[in-house]
Chains A and B, each alone.
Chain A
């Protein structure tokens, strides 16, 4: 079964500083990988996804993520954070080949932005 680990429960970053959120996955084949963001009181919004091809994926709101097969990682980055980026971030993995098995989520990383 697949699993996702987000090692950091909370991260505090100053506004304007760079950001990296870590995600490690466990899966027997190449997975489909996702990053979702959840603003307070809201549902989840997709930031970006990786299916195949270029290992550096660009998403919305200036985010990007890099798939590293050798490290089983899919870390999320942003060069300069804004106060509006404060939210909960979830990494997720889905099984190869599709189906309706749903996503397996990490436990989330809570991002705090300092002024």
Chain B
């Protein structure tokens, strides 16, 4: 069974902390994504990566960075957490190819910044 695993289901962090959200996929997918989900706003793309060490900004990259040192792992980094980054974070992966194929999602990490 294909799987995208996010390291934490719930996190509580303090304002100003550096926060790491980890995502691992076991499907050998080239593409990985980080979304944030907020009520009434749906899912918004933060960053994506189509290969190791490659990254591209999505729609809302401000305040975030990412790291992809290995194909299976894609990390989202909040350099200095702020309360407006309290949200549900979803990681996804998909295989490279034409056409664009479905994305597989992790269970999500609910981050609260206090």
Contact = CB atoms under 8 A, between A and B. Distances in A.
Contacts of A49: 102
Contacts, number: 74
A83 interface: no
A100 B105 contact: no
B100 A44 contact: no
- A interface SS class: loop
Interface stretch (A14-22, A65-73, A74-82, A91-99): A91-99
Range of interface residues on A (Cβ < 8 Å):
20 to 34
A1 to B, nearest CB: 9
Contact of B100 (A46, A90, A99, A108): A99
A9 B100 CA distance: 27
B48 A102 contact: yes
Most buried by B among A94, A96, A100: A100
Given A44-B105, A100-B30, A101-B48, A32 B42 contact: no
A98 B50 contact: no
A97 B33 contact: no
Contacts of B50: 99-100
A43 interface: yes
A90 B42 contact: yes
Interface string B1-41: 00010000000000000000000000000110101000011
A101 B45 CA distance: 9
Interface in B80-109: 90, 92, 94, 96-108
A3 to B, nearest CB: 11
Interface of A: 9, 32, 34, 36, 41-46, 49, 51, 90, 94-108
22 contacts: A32-B100, A34-B102, A36-B105, A41-B107, A43-B90, A43-B105, A44-B43, A45-B105, A49-B102, A94-B100, A95-B100, A98-B98, A98-B99, A99-B100, A100-B33, A100-B49, A102-B31, A102-B45, A102-B48, A105-B35, A106-B42, A107-B41
Given A43-B105, A43-B108, A98-B96, 5 more contacts: A41-B107, A51-B99, A98-B100, A100-B56, A105-B44
